[in-house]
């Protein structure tokens, strides 16, 4: 699919604008002496963003917005849909216009899409590792890069993953410290049920089957099995009998996804999707 880069409906322009404005200002508030000195003010150029290795494409609207934020006369064309698998050498997007503007915005635009495509690519690998016939979702966590949560969650979705709660005001998630502070799993769930909006699910983290039973009995909607071994996870699935959404988390690596999914859990959340992910190698090649 080729065409103009459309505003994605999954990422509000307001959100993109703010992230792009911060990044452009961080890099370019003092100008770009090299480009101004070496490139004629009326020189024009065409540059292609190219995948240097196979990757899942992500960030086209952010890429386009970065260039137009620097110079709104630049034109950005899109060659690849969000979420598409690109081969090494594939052209993803093309920028046309004043050479100075393109060179100025290049680094910031690449910093965004290298991270976003890196996350989408890694997420896709985890999603593809879920064996056919099993139902586990791959989900992110709240371990996101400060200031970039909306973009990183979007990249996870683009990679085929699912989001966890956006923030602690969007769902209840009772952890060990909450349990300790409120006097047990049951009491935590009851307190949360009483205080949270009726539109809110109650998730509870447990580290034993006894705690699981207590959570089931108290009416949790979601139970997180934290750092449990495979046998315990399987036992938990058996015991829950589908009454709650079961999530496993804690140190999930790519080679464990298959066996975890086969236990029948509903969700596998992966902290490594967002903060430490290897950025994708995307370069900007100028037409000679």
Q: Give the list of residues 6+ apart from residue 171 with CB closer than 8 angstroms, or none.
A: 165, 200, 201, 203
Contact characters 191-230, a second copy, x per CB under 8 A: xx-xxxxxxxx-x-----------------xx--------
Q: Could you tell me the smallest distance in angstroms from the CB atom of residue 170 to a second copy?
A: 4
Q: Are 236 and 204 in contact (CB under 8 A)?
A: no
Residues 155-194, interacting with a second copy (CB under 8 A): 162-175, 177-182, 188, 191-192, 194
Strands, DSSP E only, in 41-147?
A: 44-51, 55-56, 75-78, 85-86, 91-98, 137-139
CA atoms within 13 A on the CB side of 7: 9
What element of type H or E holds 222? strand 222-226
Asked if 266 touches a second copy (CB under 8 A), the answer is: yes
Tell me if 152 sits within 8 A of 257, measured CB to CB: no
In the complex, least distance from residue 133 CB atom to a second copy, rounded to whole angstroms: 18
- Cα angle, residue 280 at apex, residues 151 and 256 outer, rounded to 5°: 85
- Give residues 105-164 in contact with a second copy (rule: CB under 8 A): 107-108, 110-112, 114-115, 118, 137, 139, 142-150, 162-164
Report the DSSP beta bridge partners of residue 269.
139
Site for a second copy contains 242 (CB under 8 A): no
Q: Which C-beta is closer to a second copy: that of 41 or that of 231?
A: 41
Distance CA 225, CA 202 (A): 14
Q: Tell me how far, at minimum, the Cβ of 6 lies from a second copy, in Å.
A: 9
Residue 175 or residue 231: which is nearer to a second copy going by CB?
175
What is the C-alpha to C-alpha distance for residues 122 and 105, in angstroms, rounded to an integer? 26
Span near a second copy by CB under 8 A; candidates 2-10, 86-94, 124-132, 210-218: 2-10
73 binds a second copy (CB under 8 A): yes
Residue 31 touches a second copy, criterion: CB under 8 A: yes
Interface stretch with a second copy, choices 12-20, 207-215, 230-238, 255-263 (CB under 8 A): 12-20
């Amino acid at each position: 699919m080729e065409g103009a880069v459309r505003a994605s409906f999954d990422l509000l322009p307001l959100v993109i604008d703010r992230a792009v404005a911060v990044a452009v200002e961080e890099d370019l508030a003092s100008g770009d002496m090299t480009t101004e000195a070496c490139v004629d003010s009326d020189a024009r150029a065409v540059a292609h963003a190219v995948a240097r290795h196979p990757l899942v494409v992500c960030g086209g609207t952010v890429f386009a917005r970065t260039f137009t934020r620097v110079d709104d006369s630049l034109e950005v064309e899109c060659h690849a849909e969000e979420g598409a698998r690109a081969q090494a050498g594939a052209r993803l997007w093309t920028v046309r216009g004043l050479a100075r503007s393109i060179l100025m915005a290049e680094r910031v635009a690449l910093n965004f899409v290298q991270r976003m495509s890196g996350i989408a690519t890694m997420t896709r690998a985890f999603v593809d590792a879920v064996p056919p016939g099993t139902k586990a979702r791959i989900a992110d966590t709240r371990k996101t890069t400060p200031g970039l949560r909306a973009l990183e969650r979007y990249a996870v979705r683009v990679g085929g993953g699912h989001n966890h709660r956006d923030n602690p005001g969007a769902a209840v998630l009772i952890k060990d410290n909450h349990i300790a502070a409120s006097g047990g799993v049951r009491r935590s769930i009851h307190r949360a049920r009483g205080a949270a909006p009726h539109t809110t699910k109650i998730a509870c983290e447990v580290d034993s089957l006894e705690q699981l039973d207590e959570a089931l009995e108290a009416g949790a909607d979601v139970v997180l099995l934290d750092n449990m071994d495979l046998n315990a996870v399987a036992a938990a699935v058996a015991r829950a009998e589908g009454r709650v959404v079961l999530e496993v988390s804690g140190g999930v690596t790519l080679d464990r996804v298959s066996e975890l999914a086969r236990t029948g859990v509903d969700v596998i959340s992966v902290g490594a999707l967002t903060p430490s992910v290897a950025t994708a190698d995307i370069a900007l090649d100028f037409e000679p």
